[in-house]
Amino acid sequence: MEGASPDPRCLARSERLRRPADIQELFQRGHRDERRSFVALWRLSGGGRRVGFAVSRRVGGAVQRNRVRRRIREAYRLQQHALLPGIDVVFIGRPVALTEPFVHLCGEMRQTLVALTQAAGQLGSGVVRQ
């Protein structure tokens, strides 16, 4: 489909963390923000915002893991405007994300993205909080 505009419901290829090295960097050196339904590992980056999604096998079988991943990805997609560019983040789904009402999941996502934006602003200005 040449010339077709990208689907606004999808994350653009440039907005996804795809290289294993980038994801591993977040696991090793990223900042952590924990919520009931997921954990967000993030760090400042030079470019635009990029995001990845992961779910541990502890959550359940493939069907449950994929459902958790889809729910978290959709919550992010609906709230992504709250996250400023220049941040890489990986969301790691927890088992509770499978049964949590979607409205609550979106609320947690919104809180997380606002918190990441504020923390990134503090890190970028040289103020570091532990």
Q: What is the pLDDT of residues 48-68, one digit of tens each?
A: 889 999 999 999 999 999 999
The domain segmentation of the chain, as residue ranges, is 16-114
Q: What is the mean pLDDT of each run of 10 residues along the chain (130 residues)?
A: 53 85 90 95 88 94 96 95 91 96 97 92 59
pLDDT value of residue 130: 40
- Could you tell me how far CA 16 lies from the centroid of its own chain? 10
pLDDT value of residue 48: 83
Task: Provide the H-helix boundaries in 1-130.
Answer: 20-29, 62-79, 102-124
Question: In one letter, which amino acid is 11?
Answer: L
- Per-residue tokens: 122: 């503090």
Alpha-carbon distance of 91 to 101, in angstroms, equals 18
Alpha-carbon distance of 54 to 93, in angstroms, equals 6
Q: Which fold has domain 16-114?
A: Ribosomal Protein S5; domain 2 (3.30.230)
pLDDT value of residue 128: 44
- Per-residue tokens: 88: 């890489």
Whole-number Cα distances in Å, 17 to 25, 51, 52, 82: 11, 5, 5, 18
